[in-house]
Amino acid sequence: MIRSFISIDIPDELKNAIKALQEMFRKCDADVRWTRIEAMHLTLKFLGNVEEKQIEDIKKILKEIALQTPLINIKLNGAGVFPNQKVPRVLWVDVIENDGILDSLQKRLDAELSKIGFEKEKRGFKPHLTLGRVRSQKGKERLVKLLEDVKDKEFGAFTAEDIKLMKSELRPEGSVYTELARFGFSAKY
């Protein structure tokens, strides 16, 4: 079985801006397990454990969808928490895409992959980059106050040119990601 997901990469220069944000949040001494900056990505769909024989079917679907998807202009803007500020569990940076392409891409992936046995998402798609996972309520007030300071901060923009099928290996030092395949967007607006 291969634990896998579908994602969009974040350019290194934007990862550096997010790393600076993480450093600012670290100073509030909250109990957060921080996402390693080199592992930062935009998840479109988590597949879970996949049998090796399914990988080729997944690749065919991703290739077909990518061919019908235009380049996607994405902005990273502001930060927040899931589910809410009273009980923060996941600290994130907001991913904004105004043309509806990202939402359409995620819905298409969900629909096509459900045809080969992958469960459709039950929750609505909220594109974000996970900064860290809150482990306890220690430092919560300081964390929430800092969130207010950066709720409208712009971290940059980029154009997504492809999607990736990734392998995720859980290790004591954190997840290790390996690219299994990449599919470039090529449709015109």
Model pLDDT, residue 188: 61
CA pair distance 67, 77, nearest whole angstrom: 28
Distances (CA, A) of 41 to 12, 18, 27, 45: 11, 11, 23, 12
Locate 171 and state its tokens. Answer: 């290790």
Report, as ranges of residue numbers, the positions in the chain whose pLDDT lies below 70. Answer: 187-189
Sequence-distant (6+) residues with CB within 8 A of 182 are 162, 163, 164, 165
User: Residue ranges of the domains in the chain?
Assistant: 2-184
Active-site residues: which are they?
A: 41, 128
Question: How confident is the model at residue 187, as a pLDDT?
Answer: 66
Arithmetic mean of pLDDT over the chain? 93
Q: Check residue 175 and give its pLDDT.
A: 83
CATH of 2-184, one of 3.30.930.10, 3.90.550.10, 3.90.1140.10, 2.60.40.10: 3.90.1140.10
Position 111 scores a pLDDT of 97
Q: pTM here?
A: 0.92
